[in-house]
Chains A and B, each alone.
Chain A
Amino acid sequence: MDCVTTSSCSRLTSAVHSSLRNGNFSTSAPPLGLVGSWIGHYLLENLPRTARYDARVPTPILVGAEPFSVAGGPIGVVVLHGFTGTPQSMRPLATALAAAGFSVELPLLPGHGTSVADMVSTRWPDWSSVAEAAYGELAGRCDRVFAAGLSMGGTLAIWLAERHPDIAGIIAVNPLVDPPSSSFRDMLSGMLEEGAVSVPAIGSDIAMQGAPESAYDASPIEPMLSMFDGVDEIAARLGEVRCPVLLLSSRTDHVVPSESGDLLAARAPGPVERVWLERSFHVATLDHDAPELEARAVAFVNKVAVPAMSETERLISPEEVRHVARLARLALDDDEVGRYAVQLSAILEHVDAVRRLDTADVPPTAHPFPVENVLRPDTETLSLDRETVLAQAPVAEDDRFRVPRIMGEAP
């Protein structure tokens, strides 16, 4: 696997880092915030601390914020970072996907990874067009393409899924899906009119100590409002997300409330597999659950891509597989669920020929050779010896089969 950290990605994000990639930047500042909190209390408490930025010469890229690109196999994954974040937050996931043999594009979104001043003039169309270009790049050389993203990166992944019905699947980590209230947006607009450019951002929302996120410490207001427009757009079209979705939700998230994930899970018509991350905050890609998150993402891509590449329509979703397993009293692990969804779909597709046959006038067969009312004389005969039978039981007691308790159990 060869890394081409500069060449292919420079095309994608040339506006941002064409001449900047070798600059140095001190990270002596405290762990920096992520997306400005449009939710409420934090922002309101800090309202007076606004700042102004002037347009000025571009600043060098933050350390670790460089884009990442790996030319891997025929399955590609676009990986997208969040608002005011950088590829640094997504690098472990991107690396895990690359290590699994997938092609990966992790672009640096315009205005990100240098200084807030560079971001002030950028908007949702700038970021989404870079996501689109990365998708196109992978679609050009891969059979199947997935999109993965954190926070606004998740929003962008959904946006890609809505635009590209043939996308293989998306992985959304704490995505922003639920549009913020108009009162909140009005408040931000009001601040803008009063001359404010940005609001403070929440510090690295990571439960794990000593795992800083490389991001701006402030959220520029105009780009933020533009992002909300993008959220409006994707939220209105969630019914078009027909691909399989892996939704990774942190149990505790101080930046994006869990309602966003709920909305995606409820509205997306395709199969949504939701996994709760119990020990992580918003930036789950850098938190305690990162290893699990990476493993889930790799497994998801593997299981979804396999039938897609054999062009088998998925007739049975993983949810249905779980339902059937419950009926059949089988305990299946996630791997088995994924595998059976693929294999049973392929078999049922073959069976579909039978379903299409017109058999309105054909009576069903229950027996290959007609036999009716087989009776025998009602005479007493020897039956099996009780002790012999019980001797074969896993657990027997007092002439009976012993079983675990049956009261109070789940069905």
Chain B
Amino acid sequence: MSDVPAPAIHDLGGASRYRCSPVERDEAPPDDFGKRVDAIRQILAQKGFMTVDELRRGIESIPEAEYFTLTYYERWLTSISNLMVEKGVIPAEELR
């Protein structure tokens, strides 16, 4: 068993830590922040600046402590903005 690596943080299928937690039935659509992040992601993808796999890589490499405190669309924004800096599309200074 000990040579089985721990699953990556985003790999939550079957994770026992949530065993006793009911699913919170939040039916609200994304708020304006979420919709805006989502729209920008689609535009950047359509224009060829990023792919869904790059978005995933950016989300999945968020450090564990942050991954579980950021909201869903905050994780997206983190990934997308990091990607655009990484690719030299925008300079990091403008995000500080």
**A and B part of one assembly:** no
* B binding-site residues for A, Cβ under 8 Å: none
